[in-house]
Structure 1
Amino acid sequence: MMPAKEQALHLEIAEYLIGNIRTGVFAENEKIPSEQELCLQFQVNRHVVRQAIARVASLGWVTPVQGKGCYVNRIPKPVRYDLSSRTRFSENMNSQGVRHKGQLLEWEERVPTEEERENLALDDGETVYRLEILRYIEDQPLSVTTTVLPVAEFPDLPDYFHNFHSLYDILINHYHFRPIRERSVFQATLPALQDVKILQMPENVPVMEITSLMKHPGGFPVEFSISRIRGDMTKCLVEF
């Protein structure tokens, strides 16, 4: 276990490096100071510096290159994610001039869980579609969403999955309505291993988990979803 003094020093060095990356002192693809330079600057041994660099790398700020040092990763500017009763991901990104796309990773028709059945007010025997949707901004994975929809409300939905790019475009164009947000619950949490791989993110960077229920304009529930959004790439605006 690292002594308390060394622990404090390695955190100080890590914060120094991250702070300089945030402010652009160390630019994208630029090499950060070497172990030797940091040892001299902070008057510490190599073990402390290596711990600091390992921390910065584990948080996704730099990538070590054997024999060459560490280079600053491309750090995306956080996008604003607006949440209101009628917001859509596509409209959110379009309004900010951000390139985006959606990808349907997988889907299945199955029996709902108890939570899904209760939220969607389903009768026994009814089935649901479960979709896994990955969304990108500027060619980088931003969020993955598990979306559950009642089969009875969306007959032939899989027929429209070819060249998928937006679920709500399908609902608007083929089912002629736009879901309305009934409620959303926010929770900051660490990502599951599968989401770490899909979102290509460090496992110790939090995600914002948003559990939402959407209703038909007629008042009945039609969509239950759980989104996991990279916390380092998003800031949420909730409208009342």
Structure 2
Amino acid sequence: MMRLKEDMLSHLEISEYLIQKIQSGVFQENQKIPSENELCQQFNVNRHVIRQALARLTNLGWITPFQGRGCYVNSIQKPIQYVLSSNTRFTDNMENLGLVYQSRLLTWEKGLPSDVEQKNLLLSENQKIYRLEILRFIEGQPISVTTTVMPEEEVPQLENYLRNFKSLYRILSNYYQLRPVRSRSVFQALLPMLKDSKVLEIPESVPIIQIESIMNHPSGNPVEYSVARIRGDMHKCLVEF
């Protein structure tokens, strides 16, 4: 059994050690980990250091503390491999993987574009856009929230088709004969904003993957600009060329 040095230990070192034990199966799902007293003795540190280590594991989603019962290992969600290419769709990806999925429209609005939206969609400041906020679930777990922006002239009267929303691309295909093609995606690892951590049901300390994308007509003109914020603990992206 690997032993840590008993001098100069920090709560970060102790928490990383415990994470390794969870990942290797020494501490299994729903199993209680050693108590604060046992960890204090094992690492020869005071209770404050152990509590900091356990708080970090809790914030990162590895364990859940129960009053008077100790800390238990959470079920560890395996990352879902999401294929990203010029023609990928959330619905198609989930059906290919045989997973239960759902999309929920949180909000929508029609208005004027921001400077960033103007630039990416090649719009003037007076051209109206639709802006949608879409939350997506896999196997009942929220995995991503996406802000999608489209020019009004591309999807006139879009609000008529948003009732009982299930899939944006189904609406685009069925009512507008649109099948946008991905032309660019930019990835960035970030910590979530408070509103995103709430809808994704994750602590603010768990990173997200932000994917900023442009979708074009087959002819080449931009038709959709989106910013997806995806749970970093549930997502593994495969980029196909």
TM-score of the pair, normalised by structure 2: 0.92
Q: How far apart, in 2, do the equivalents of 1:6 and 1:138 lie?
A: 44
Alignment partner, residue 137 of structure 1: 138
Structure-2 change in CA distance of 1:41 and 1:178 (3 Å): same
Q: How far apart, in 1, do the equivalents of 2:98 and 2:19 lie?
A: 27
2:104 matches 1:103: yes
- 8 Å CA contact 1:177–1:217 kept in 2: the answer is no
Alignment partner, residue 63 of structure 1: 64
Alignment partner, residue 238 of structure 1: 239
Q: CA deviation at 1:104?
A: 0.4
- 8 Å CA contact 2:113–2:125 kept in 1: the answer is no
Q: How far apart, in 2, do the equivalents of 1:220 and 1:141 lie?
A: 32
Alignment partner, residue 54 of structure 1: 55
Alignment partner, residue 158 of structure 1: 159
Alignment partner, residue 181 of structure 1: 182
Q: Which one is further off, 40-49 or 212-221?
A: 40-49
Q: Partner letter of residue 236 of structure 2?
A: K
What secondary structure, in the 3-state scheme, does the structure 2 residue paired with 1:153 have? Answer: coil
- 8 Å CA contact 1:84–1:181 kept in 2: the answer is yes
Q: Percent identity?
A: 59
- 8 Å CA contact 1:6–1:48 kept in 2: the answer is no
Equivalent positions of 1:194-233 (< 5 A) are: 194-233=195-234
Q: CA deviation at 1:28?
A: 2.5
Alignment partner, residue 92 of structure 2: 91
Flag structure 1 segments of 5+ consecutive residues without an equivalent.
Answer: none
- 8 Å CA contact 2:59–2:206 kept in 1: the answer is no
Alignment partner, residue 148 of structure 1: 149
Provide the aligned length of Structure 1 versus Structure 2. 236
Q: CA deviation at 1:102?
A: 0.7
2:73 matches 1:43: no
Alignment partner, residue 29 of structure 2: 28
Q: How far apart, in 2, do the equivalents of 1:99 and 1:13 lie?
A: 37
Q: CA deviation at 1:7?
A: 6.8
Q: How far apart, in 2, do the equivalents of 1:89 and 1:28 lie?
A: 29
Q: CA deviation at 1:18?
A: 1.3
